[in-house]
C-alpha cells in the first residue's frame, strides 16, 4: 500500500511540473488517502503482534 502512495505522489509531482493541476491534485489526494490507510493498518498490525 505504501508503494501505491509513493507512485501516486510521483505522478502528482510530474503532473504538477508539467502544468496539469487537476491531475496533480487528484493524484496527491489519492496518495494522501493511501498513506493514511497504510499508517492505520501499520499501527493496528503493530498492536496485534504486541498483544
pLDDT in tens, 22-37: 989 999 999 999 999 9
Residue 46 has pLDDT above 70, yes or no: yes
For the entire predicted model, the pTM comes to: 0.77
**How many other β-carbons are positioned within 10 Å of the β-carbon of residue 47?**
9
Dihedral sign from CA coordinates of 28, 31, 37, 38: negative
CA geometry: angle at 19 spanning 23 and 24, to 5°? 25
Q: What is the pLDDT of residue 1?
A: 75
Q: What is the pLDDT of residue 33?
A: 93
Question: In 3-state terms, what secondary structure has residue 19?
Answer: coil
Cα 1 to Cα 50: distance, rounded to the nearest angstrom: 22
CB contact at 8 A, 27 and 10 = no
Residue 51 has pLDDT above 80, yes or no: no
Q: State the chain's mean pLDDT as an integer.
A: 90
Amino acid at each position: 500500500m505504501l508503494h501505491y502512495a509513493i507512485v501516486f505522489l510521483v505522478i502528482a509531482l510530474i503532473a504538477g511540473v508539467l502544468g496539469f493541476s487537476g491531475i496533480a491534485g487528484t493524484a496527491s489526494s489519492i496518495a494522501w488517502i493511501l498513506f493514511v490507510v497504510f499508517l492505520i493498518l501499520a499501527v493496528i498490525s503493530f498492536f496485534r503482534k504486541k498483544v
